[in-house]
Amino acid sequence: MDDVVAARAGRRAFLAALRDELITCDVVASPTILCPAPLVEEWAQNWTNLGYMATYSSLTCAANLLGWPALSVPAGFVDGVPVGLQLMGPPNSEPLQLSLAERVINS
């Protein structure tokens, strides 16, 4: 039980530090995932592997953990496979995120 308490305290400290760093940003832009999207066959074969899944959630988990709004927009193709741009921001940044997303999509 001590491990659980310590892990929760560590998580709270990490999130507080991350929040403090990002609070001065209007929006944070990043790739949605670390690599181009997998083909359907690859995904079907590997989706239950936690290490494999971490590749596809490591950049989106910050918004989830912080409870901040985020969205992903199509940002082009790499080797014929779509890639996305994630826009994340502090609470109430949704109008700015949507405006930026529209600019990305229409560019």
CA angle in degrees (0–180, nearest 5) for 77-69-20: 110
Q: What is the mean pLDDT of the chain?
A: 87
Taking residues 83-101, what's their average pLDDT?
A: 94
- For residue 98, pLDDT over 90 is answered with yes
Q: Where are the domains of the chain?
A: 26-105
Average pLDDT on 29-55 reads: 84
**What distance in Å separates the CA atoms of residue 77 and residue 33, rounded to the nearest whole number?**
13
Query: For the sheet containing 81-88, what is the strand order?
Result: 28-31, 81-88, 70-78
Tokens of 77: 């193709």
Q: Helix H segments across the chain?
A: 2-22, 40-46, 50-57, 61-66, 94-105
